[in-house]
Amino acid sequence: MTGIDINEVLAELGVNQLNNGASTGSNWTATSGSQIDSYSPVDGRLIGSVKVASADDYNKTVDKAAEAFKAWRMVPAPVRGEVVRQLAVALREHKDALGALVSYEMGKSLQEGLGEVQEMIDICDFAVGLSRQLHGLTMHSERPGHRMYEQYHPLGVVGIISAFNFPVAVWNWNTALAWICGDTCVWKPSEKTPLTAIACQNITQKVFEANNVPEGVSCLVIGDAEIGKLMANDKRVPLVSATGSTRMGKSVSQAVAARLGKSLLELGGNNAMIITPEADLKIVVPGAVFGAVGTAGQRCTSTRRLIIHESIFDKVVGTIVNAYGQLRIGSPLDQNMHVGPLIDIDAVNMYLDAIEKAKAEGGKVLVEGGVLSGEGYESGCYVKPAIVQVENHFQIVQHETFAPILYVMKYSGDVHNAIAMQNDVVQGLSSAIMTNNLREAEAFLSHAGSDCGIANVNIGTSGAEIGGAFGGEKETGGGRESGSDAWKIYMRRQTNTINYTAELPLAQGIKFDL
């Protein structure tokens, strides 16, 4: 590793060589179940191990969260916000260590690992202000002497299923809002990144203990898909927030819907950047390249497709191919590197399989992929970012592959043809257009434009600011997290009518005399 002592990082964050897999706060449940060994994709070394929580551990944890909810919901929202404010302070204090652990366990660059912790800090800051703004509306009643208004109440236990690619930020996108809303949280992190979850629980609990927060407001249950199934089917958990593949999301959604619960889904993306003849290539190239290779293509908002006008196709592709020749691939802890490893060997195999499928369908490889070996690549998880010229209808192009494979394709005619190509996939997360033409930009943002939850002009598809609601449409799931009014899903809405007269007039003028 470069400049980081992982043992010091683990010690600062309270992560042990062998950890227990369930926590309701300060209490960790020792289980006799199986064990998850967390190996770093950076160098293939064992970082630590976790005992997997059992179904009984899960049930006891949810019981504790449900019990804690009864007390936590009665704490004034601004007081809950003050606790979250202190969590932001603690995250600032441990930003370097937590960011390093994110980078080492997941494989994203150190800069991106630190950026992910900064997202946690930002959402906490956002939630603090929001804790004084959980407002409803006041309406005029048609009946004299009546007042109508709506208010929002805490929902209950929020279940959180997160993915490996953002192992800490997405959890905190949910918890920061849920906590200020008065909910308690039970987190099932990815089994590929359990140690970052334990670190977050440790940081949180110190803050909660200092503020006498009830045991069970922040809970952690580490396990495989079976824990996720228990959560999806659990009537004690009124809201399940799930981030991951579309396949996983459909399973969660069906189980939650069957019990009439609520689900917040953040699923697959197949994000395109449209490049028109009016685009400024000075911003096209860095936007496209970072979008495609950042986090080794393992962002849900990674740029998968470039839709380029035929008149500039050769010029744009040639420039991007040249930029790919300058990419440095290596340890994400070395800030001189542009691209780190994939999460594991399974991801490497999916990457190789996708390239072969693209070629079999008639794709033309413009930048060769492949697995790197030798010194610095001992984990076997380092691959070369690839570029393949394709047609949008290719089956593999319609599929999201979590890897640095960029598909490039031509469009002809006007921008509406490009928009139709962009929308012609089942996913609908993020999208971008590069143009200096106002009419093209507005067409892209119009009702007949991008069908994605995120639509950007002259910036890439990846990355999001806390202030805006994050999420997508179609098979991306329709959920919204983070900013704007995303807080409302963590609460239940109630309409109130108050009669302050001595009469009882009925609505719509109905008469009911006794």
* Rg (alpha carbons) of the chain, rounded to whole number: 24
- Give Cα separations from 446 to 155, 431, 441 (angstroms): 35, 13, 9
Q: Which of 428, 408, 441, 423 has its CA nearest to residue 473? A: 428
Residue 331 dihedral angles phi and psi, to the nearest 5°: -55, 125
* CA gap 83, 112 in Å, rounded: 26
Does the annotation mark 475 as catalytic? no
* CA gap 461, 459 in Å, rounded: 7
Residue in this structure with the two tokens 């898909």, named with its chain if needed: 225
Residue in this structure with the two tokens 């257009």, named with its chain if needed: 433
Which residues are registered as beta bridge partners of 160?
Answer: 187, 241
Q: What is the DSSP letter of 294?
A: G
* Catalytic residue from among 300, 400, 475, 481: 300
* CA gap 129, 121 in Å, rounded: 13
Query: How many residues in total does the chain contain?
Result: 514
**Beta strands 22-23; 28-29: pairing state:** antiparallel
Does the annotation mark 116 as catalytic? no
Tell me how far the alpha carbon of residue 367 is from its chain's centroid: 29
Please report the sign of the dihedral spanned by the C-alpha atoms of residue 474, residue 479, residue 481, residue 483: positive
* CA gap 296, 275 in Å, rounded: 22
* Catalytic residue from among 12, 191, 215, 266: 266
Catalytic site positions: 266, 300
